[in-house]
Structure 1
Amino acid sequence: MIPSETYYTELVNPMTYQQFKALTEELIALNKTTGDEQTEQKINFTKLNQQRMKRVEKQFVIQPELNELLAQNNVNWNWLILVESWCGDGAQLLPAIAAIAEQTPGITLTVLLRDENPELMNTCLTNNSRSIPKLICIDAETGERIFTWGPRPTAIQEQVKQFKTLNPEVSHDELVQQIQLWYAKDRSQALQQDLYLLISEVLKQVSIA
């Protein structure tokens, strides 16, 4: 684990989930998006993502085993999540992560914009890329990083790999559309399975130590 200074130095524009949603609504009204690239594509994605987030919020149900795992172990964690309003994966995952945090008294969630927090983002790259969303779990007492997760659930990512192998000529837009269909069908199950396995392993290591 790494000292807290690495993570709590100059967090820029930390938000609650509700504040992030309010920011997204304001930007949509102004025909804008988060981040430096104010492209038509990203602005349109932000509008789509608002609807996706609302759908996930309505459909989300925490898995009993994950809920029990978090409740029984009395965790005391700060969750930081790096995201942008135009991010399709973020729109599918952030509402579910926020719901888990809200239902777990020992977890506090802070939403951070990737492009405003490059130093933090650079501590959790994926294959040297700044892929989001990224969830960082911090021990609230010691300030140590416990785990990072993201940018996509394992089961969804496996479907992406298989689809690319079978359809090497697929366009980026077609792939994005397919990924959104998988998320809609999955209903946050793959995310919760990942978190259950990850948190179980973390807590097991703590008990051994």
Structure 2
Amino acid sequence: MHTEPGVHSSTGVFVCFEGGEGAGKSTQSSLLRQWLESQGYAVVLTFEPGDTTVGRRVREIVLDPATGALADRTEALLYAADKAEHVETLVLPALARGAVVITDRYVDSTLAYQGAGRGMDLVDDGLERVARWATGDLRPHLTVLLDLEPHHGLGRFETRDRIEGESLEFHLRVRAAFLALAAADPDHYLVLDARLPVDEIATVVREAIAGLLAQAVRT
């Protein structure tokens, strides 16, 4: 999977956690925030979809099982709308202030879930173009991919939302897409086995981000 180079903010540091269901993205995002704040950095911890007023409405639609089936393009456009609002109103202002922005999911999730998962071609169907346009082609300085076989991650949920409830084959395609995105841009990705101990993963993440921290403004 090949994607063209995008825009990296000249202020602040933008870090993204990606991966399949149950991989531990929220846990690692929170641990990274705690560590960064202990080092004196201004941190904004956020997530997609749903961390804006508009996004909360979108999240209800795309994740509630009661929504039922959506046309693939409808689903993709809803996620794109969430991303556009998220970047414009939360991510870009925080980066402009020099903060470290940590997001739990970003564009890669759209490319993996609405792209590979739904069987949409990123180029021919225009999915990547829409997702990049929605975010102004803003790319994370570092994306941490927590890789986990789907049957391990899905087994951690007693109940599942609309996306978690998709077939194992769907989630296998999603995992393969994440790995392909990472392989296409190794300078901006850190791929870790999500089955490793939580503290071990957190340590490796901190080491990886150390080189980016000089760009952040201390509080």
Please, what TM-score do these two structures have when normalized by structure 1? Answer: 0.29
* Larger RCO: 1 or 2 (CA < 8 Å, sep 6+): 2
Decide which structure has greater helix share. 1
Please, what TM-score do these two structures have when normalized by structure 2? Answer: 0.28
